[in-house]
Amino acid sequence: MIKTASERSLVIRAISTDGSARIVFCDSTAIVRRACGIHKTAKTATAVLGRALTAASMMGSLLKDSDDSLTLRFDGDGPAGHVVCVSDYKGNVRGYMDNPSVELPPNKAGKLDVGGAIGKGSLYVIRDLGLKEPYVGASPIVTGEIGDDVTAYFANSEQVPTVCAVGVRVDRDNMCFASGGFLIQLLPGADDTAAEIIEKNVSGMKSVSELIASGVSGDEIIAQAFFGMEYEMFDEFDVGYVCKCSRGRYLSALASLGQSDLDELIADGGPVETGCMFCGKKYVFTPAEVLAEREKKKKEKKENE
């Protein structure tokens, strides 16, 4: 029997004692299982979305303030279409992809062909830090395997030497039985030996999903990546697949549509239905509700002028 992942996913963080490097580890098995259930993903799609969710969770956990959020978006030309994942500063994530039924033959290495599903294009990292404009970084998609692309993004766009590894194991019943990753970053002033040690360690490690699948703990995976370095465990916390949608938020979005779009939507007088892209929840409004919300918004705008 294969190890059963806990209901909760987990993030563990550690930092080298000399301050040269930090590592974020994530066991995202429960998150990816939830995502599979919501989006009914095919095997290849499970790996695509699962890897992206894992990367977004780890990147999100590096945000500073409780209201900050991070969006990791892949705009590739492959059959997966757009892949969008959003994380809060605690690493709680949600995500969707245009084509959750994408299924490809295995790649040359016999693995799920995530790179083929993503294709060529760009990836975007959008940090909403509560300022007027969000901070947007972009980088070309390198292999489409997600981990490589995030690694390249940090090098190209943020000049932070980074290693990102993410992996998802899917069993024959199309169930995710192990998913996770780690993100290692050199910190300003890091000495060269730290980079050399980490590079050597990481190149000798098994894939992170294989390690999790065979029951290796997050603490042990960090110990492998930081072998030969002194380090301290920083913290450990639960993360989950969390959607923040609400009826009020969708009503407000509908009321903000342009006049002609809104007219078209309520032309037949029937109820207006919207579905959340991230969690599939349905929200139904009467045309009167939408129009009342629009009037309210107009009034508020006038009062603010």
**In angstroms, what is the minimal distance from the CB of 252 to Zn ion?**
14
Q: What is the DSSP letter of 86?
A: E
* Residues 5/33, Cβ–Cβ less than 8 Å: yes
Q: For residues 284 and 288, which CB has a smaller minimum distance to Zn ion in the complex?
A: 284
**In angstroms, what is the minimal distance from the CB of 281 to Zn ion?**
5
**In angstroms, what is the minimal distance from the CB of 275 to Zn ion?**
9
Q: For residues 164 and 245, which CB has a smaller minimum distance to Zn ion in the complex?
A: 245
- Both tokens of 19, joined, read 């301050």
CB atoms under 10 Å from CB of 193, counted, come to 12
Determine which residue in the list 32, 42, 117, 245 makes contact with Zn ion, applying CB under 5 A. Answer: 245
Q: Which stretch binds Zn ion (CB under 5 A): 36-44, 73-81, 175-183, 270-278?
A: 270-278
Q: For residues 72 and 208, which CB has a smaller minimum distance to Zn ion in the complex?
A: 72
CA nearest neighbour of 123 among 201, 64, 184, 59: 59
**In angstroms, what is the minimal distance from the CB of 94 to Zn ion?**
7
Examine residue 84 and tell whether it contacts Zn ion (CB under 5 A).
no
Q: Which stretch binds Zn ion (CB under 5 A): 37-45, 202-210, 241-249, 295-303?
A: 241-249
Q: How far apart are CA 72 and CA 51, in angstroms?
A: 11
Q: Which residues fall within 8 angstroms of residue 4, CB to CB, at 6 or more apart?
A: none
Q: For residues 187 and 242, which CB has a smaller minimum distance to Zn ion in the complex?
A: 242
Element (H, E) at 27: strand 21-27
Q: How far is CA 293 from CA 257, 288, 296, 297, 300, in A?
A: 11, 9, 5, 6, 11
**In angstroms, what is the minimal distance from the CB of 90 to Zn ion?**
17
Examine residue 243 and tell whether it contacts Zn ion (CB under 5 A).
yes
Q: How many residues does the chain have?
A: 305
Q: For residues 41 and 185, which CB has a smaller minimum distance to Zn ion in the complex?
A: 41
User: 3-state class of 44 per DSSP?
Assistant: helix
- Both tokens of 231, joined, read 């380090």
Q: For residues 279 and 292, which CB has a smaller minimum distance to Zn ion in the complex?
A: 279
Give the footprint of Zn ion on this chain (CB under 5 A).
243, 245, 276, 278-279, 281
